Amino acid sequence: MKKLIYFFYTKSVGLYINFLSFVYPEKATQLAYSLFSEPRDGRLTKTSLPKILQETQSETYQHNGHHFQSYTWKGNDTVILLVHGWESNASRWENILPYLQKSGSTIIAIDAPAHGLSSGKEFNIPQYAEFIHVLFEKYNPNYLIGHSLGAKTCLYYQSVYQNSDLEKMVILGSPSDFSIILNNYITLLSLNSIVSAGLAKHYLKSFNLKLEHFSGKLFASKIKTKGFIAHDTEDTVVLFEEGKKIAGSWKNSIFIETTGLGHSLHDDELYKKIARFLFETE
């Protein structure tokens, strides 16, 4: 019954946007983009922070009219930055923390735009990457770990900023081709060609990137930093082939195939492999 209600809701929204596109195409495009880019989960409040984040030193940063939140577990001079994905927040790293903390490292987690305690209604990768760069300028992390769209943001960040001080990156369940995600959304709402073309123009105008260039495998091809990529064969959120695309274009990376972990990739054995990759000398 819930699936049926969801089906009629999405198609009704799409029908309204399509109708609007014939009268006010720009408004239709903006509405379609807003629905696509606004997360419906992952928010936090200061009065109800997860316990794992209460144990940190939290900081709020101002950047280009927005603010974003970071959380620090203090340790030694080695710094690890954690970048979560869509409709999540910094607390998603709770399970991996013990494996990272064994190294004594300082660990910093960030809330994405429109997630956690960070401001805004819109999530987009270029803005997220700007937030990451603010933290790099202050803390100069040695290691960068991202999950899902956070992982793709890490790829985008390093391909654009080319930070030579970044030693290693861990990419978990990352999508590659943005056009697949956007086309799935267009299909879900049955949006017409006017709105589809409007969305493509919006991304080109706002981020100076064509959809085909907003690609994780393209970002990865520009990265020289050593990488660890993990993707699950049973991931129903981001298909396994997406991870293989990224691995195929990133020369200095290793690819770990898992089964049965799904998109979350929460697993003790995987965490041990990540810790060995980061902290063991070759």
CA–CA distances in Å: residue 87 to residues 91, 173, 239: 12, 14, 18
Q: Is 274 in contact with 96 (CB distance < 8 Å)? A: yes
Amino acid at 51: K
What is the per-residue pLDDT across 56-112, written as a single tens digit (0 to 9) for each?
A: 999 999 999 999 999 999 999 999 999 999 999 999 999 999 999 999 999 999 999
Q: Is 96 in contact with 271 (CB distance < 8 Å)? A: yes
Quick one: tokens of 243?
Answer: 């991870």
CA–CA distances in Å: residue 89 to residues 63, 77, 150: 19, 25, 10
Dihedral sign, CA of 230, 188, 90, 126? positive
Helices 2-23 and 193-207: crossing angle in degrees, nearest 10, is: 80
User: What pLDDT shows up at residue 146?
Assistant: 98
The domains located in the chain, with CATH, are 1-37+178-209 (no CATH), 52-176+215-282 (3.40.50.1820)
CA–CA distances in Å: residue 174 to residues 78, 134, 161, 255, 262: 25, 22, 19, 12, 12
Report the C-alpha gap between 35 and 10 in whole angstroms.
Answer: 11
Quick one: tokens of 109?
Answer: 């987690």
Quick one: tokens of 134?
Answer: 């603010």
Q: What is the mean pLDDT of each run of 10 residues along the chain (282 residues)?
A: 67 91 94 92 94 96 96 97 97 97 97 97 95 97 98 97 96 94 90 93 84 89 97 96 97 97 97 96 65
User: What pLDDT shows up at residue 214?
Assistant: 84
Of 63, 21, 39, 78, residue with least CA distance to 192: 21
